């Protein structure tokens, strides 16, 4: 499909009339800035989207709150049915939307399609969840009393997403938040406005046909002050933010100050440990995808490779040979394994990281060049480093793999954990005791710990998120739905007396004393 055909298929135009949607009405503001979408493969402008104004934003929030008043009372299985219909619409548009992801953010076509499939999987999960929003019942210590807990939605949930997963992360949040009874206000990355517009168009059609317009709203801007206004807005009880640690820390402080909730998915500095018993062919495949997939621009990308000394001389030739076979180019072309970085700033960041590595004394084993062609292409790079170096301690959002060696597994686990981030981790081993130690309380300190698979490519059935500077949030599967709800403990007295808890008596004289006693 040509770009024009993709746009037509997804209801887009070269110049969008507005980047905000409240209920079923797109705004027509033209004086609040323009968000340009550029192809990272060519650097050329794909389309322009008019940004939202302060007045547009307030209209969005007011409309979302109004819709919430009725949406929260729709039975959860019926809310699930709406999400099922959205999942079906995504199936029909998977090829076009996956292609748009590749065009706008530079993922290869397989990864673009995979991201849309992740949305579909998330919709399926949410449909099932709509019939499983369980609370608990508890035995009361008081006669003829019943205790239980129930869960209620929060209201309007704010979702702020990053460019590297321009649609899937929204689905993690939005489908679960909607099924449990919330409405959702989405601020996508200004680097990927077209993907967000395409998804919003698709959702609009489904929601209008089903008679539930306005459950999802879109707020497009590249103005920092507008994003700040959203984070500070007390009408949004939850802000889900995906991005860097510095911005995430600010979001947590601002939302916490107003006693709201924040759900944070921040940086990763993920390590693969390869022990002396590892299947090296399996490890090589996983490391290659983890470090090179999405041009190293995933929060779960493999950043560090920690290899047992006896395996280094065996593994590295295999890994270097695999890197030599990586085809770099147009992400929509068959056979290409790595597309571009997102923009010129990302290329500059790649350059600065390599300069710092060389100053520290690091050895570049392969790659390390910016490619002299249109777009933002670089070579996937492997460097020999020390774990304590400042550059290794940070998340380098580029296809740079830091390699180091270890002697004992305890040492390797300490090295893995000795970074501020705690998202994803992996051990390649055929040793049962090594596997169990890695997964124990004294093993990996990450939110995700894998054995014999890489750090990247999490399934939606498990809760996704990390510890330490990664933010502590959990999205997608398991019981992550509870983040979008408030818990209420309920006690019902069906008797004729009023006993107090803990055997307290109150208001009658006993033993010469008036008042309460235990």
CA distances from 31 to 15, 27, 28, 49, 193 (A): 14, 12, 9, 12, 17
234: annotated active-site residue: no
Is residue 177 within 8 A of residue 236, CB to CB? The reply is no
Is residue 426 within 8 A of residue 451, CB to CB? The reply is yes
> Of 299, 379, 446, 475, which one is the catalytic site residue?
299
SS3 (DSSP) at 437 = helix
Beta bridge partners of 264: 241
Entry field: residues in the chain: 518
Contacts of 88 (CB under 8 A, 6+ apart): none
Is residue 446 within 8 A of residue 474, CB to CB? The reply is no
> Of 265, 379, 395, 475, which one is the catalytic site residue?
265
Distance CA 121, CA 137 (A): 31
Is residue 21 within 8 A of residue 204, CB to CB? The reply is yes
SS3 (DSSP) at 485 = strand
Helix axes 76-92, 168-179, angle to 10 degrees: 150
3-state helix, strand, coil in the chain (%, to 5): 40, 20, 40
Contacts of 147 (CB under 8 A, 6+ apart): 137, 138, 139, 140, 489, 490, 491, 492
Is residue 445 within 8 A of residue 417, CB to CB? The reply is yes
265: annotated active-site residue: yes
Active site amino acids: 265, 299
């Amino acid at each position: 499909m040509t770009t024009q055909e993709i746009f037509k298929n997804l209801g887009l135009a070269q110049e969008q009339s507005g980047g905000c949607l409240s209920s079923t009405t797109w705004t027509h503001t033209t004086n609040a800035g323009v968000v340009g979408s550029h192809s990272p493969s060519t650097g050329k402008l794909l389309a322009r989207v008019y940004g939202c104004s302060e007045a547009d934003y307030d209209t969005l929030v007011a409309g979302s709150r109004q819709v919430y008043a009725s949406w929260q009372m729709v039975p959860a299985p019926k809310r699930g049915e709406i999400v099922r219909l959205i999942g079906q619409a995504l199936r029909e548009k998977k090829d076009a939307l996956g292609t748009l992801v590749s065009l706008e953010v530079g993922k290869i076509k397989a990864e673009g399609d995979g991201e849309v499939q992740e949305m579909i999987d998330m919709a399926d999960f949410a449909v099932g969840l709509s019939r499983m929003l369980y609370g608990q019942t508890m035995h009361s210590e008081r006669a003829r009393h019943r205790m239980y807990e129930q869960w209620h939605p929060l209201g309007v949930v704010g979702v702020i997403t990053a460019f590297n997963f321009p649609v899937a992360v929204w689905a993690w949040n939005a489908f679960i938040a909607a099924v449990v009874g919330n409405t959702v206000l989405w601020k996508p990355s200004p680097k990927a406005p077209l993907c967000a517009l395409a998804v919003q168009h698709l959702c609009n059609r489904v929601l209008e046909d089903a008679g539930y317009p306005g459950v999802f709203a879109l707020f497009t801007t590249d103005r920092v002050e507008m994003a700040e206004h959203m984070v500070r807005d007390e009408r949004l009880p939850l802000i889900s933010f995906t991005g860097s640690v510095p911005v995430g820390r600010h979001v947590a402080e601002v939302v916490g100050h107003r006693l709201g909730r924040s759900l944070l998915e921040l940086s990763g500095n993920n390590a693969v440990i390869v022990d002396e018993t590892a299947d090296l062919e399996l490890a090589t495949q996983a490391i290659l995808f983890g470090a090179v997939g999405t041009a190293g621009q995933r929060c779960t990308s493999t950043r560090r490779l920690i290899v047992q000394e006896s395996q280094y001389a065996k593994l590295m030739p295999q890994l270097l040979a695999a890197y030599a076979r990586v085809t770099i180019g147009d992400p929509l072309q068959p056979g290409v394994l790595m597309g571009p970085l997102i923009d010129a700033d990302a290329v500059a960041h790649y350059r600065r990281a390599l300069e710092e590595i060389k100053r520290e004394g690091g050895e570049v084993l392969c790659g390390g060049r910016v490619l002299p062609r249109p777009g933002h292409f670089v070579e996937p790079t492997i460097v020999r480093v020390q774990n304590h170096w400042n550059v290794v301690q940070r998340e380098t959002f580029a296809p740079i793999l830091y390699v180091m060696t270890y002697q004992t597994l305890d040492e390797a686990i300490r090295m893995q954990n000795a970074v501020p981030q705690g998202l994803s981790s992996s051990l390649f081993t055929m040793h049962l005791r090594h596997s169990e130690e890695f997964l124990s309380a004294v093993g990996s300190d990450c939110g995700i710990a894998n054995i014999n698979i890489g750090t990247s490519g999490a399934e939606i059935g498990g809760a996704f998120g990390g510890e330490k500077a990664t933010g502590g949030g959990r999205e997608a599967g398991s019981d992550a739905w509870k983040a979008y709800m408030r818990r209420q403990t309920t006690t019902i007295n069906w008797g004729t007396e009023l006993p107090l808890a803990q055997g307290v008596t109150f208001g009658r004289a006993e033993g010469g004393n008036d008042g309460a006693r235990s």
